[in-house]
Amino acid sequence: MSDKYANAARITPTLGWALRSPARFLAVGLGSGLLRPAPGTWGTLAAWLLWLLVPLGASNTGIGIILALCFIYGCWICQRTGQDLGVPDHGAMVWDEMVAFWLVLWLSPAGWLAQLCAFGLFRLFDIVKPAPIRQLDAYFKNGFGVMLDDLLAAGYTLIVMALLAWLGLFG
């Protein structure tokens, strides 16, 4: 572990702590990452609820640009918040789950059944971390690494969703 984490105080984040910085507040998923148990699941659920605010017929180009910016910004806020917490990938940081799940929702078939299936698959891949996710997660201990493992879990989810759609599961 690098010195920037070793020298930081390990703290338990609270809503008050998160509200002292916009980066922290976003990193903890607007507070959803502070919920227990399973903060990653709460963050993914919050992402799903926020996705409902995306206007129907929104431009694919616009969504793609916003997601790319959220990923880039996420690298910075997760790096900074991890340093503040003294842990590179603290469980309360769920911005990575949120951005990755928005990508899944954007590219998955429409409808609540497909979204529910995508939710379950994404959580499974994020928790199990099949190869090479686990190896990359162990190697990259910075904001990019925090964001990368969830992006890869989203990739696995999208592959399975494409297969399920090809099999006609979603109509």
pLDDT at residue number 148: 95
pLDDT at residue number 5: 57
3-state SS assignment for residue 8 = coil
Q: Which helix (H) or strand (E) holds 165?
A: helix 143-166
* Nearest-angstrom CA–CA distance, 77 and 80: 5
Burial 45-75 (b: 16+ CB within 10 A, else e): bbbbebeeeeeeeeeeeebeebbeebbebbb
Q: What is the DSSP letter of 33?
A: G
What is the pTM for the complete model shown? 0.91
pLDDT at residue number 1: 45
pLDDT at residue number 4: 60
pLDDT at residue number 135: 84
Q: What is the pLDDT along the chain (171 residues), one digit of tens a residue?
A: 445 655 455 788 999 999 999 999 999 999 999 999 999 999 999 999 999 998 888 899 999 999 999 999 999 999 999 999 988 889 999 999 999 999 999 999 989 999 999 999 999 999 999 999 888 877 787 899 999 999 999 999 999 999 999 999 987
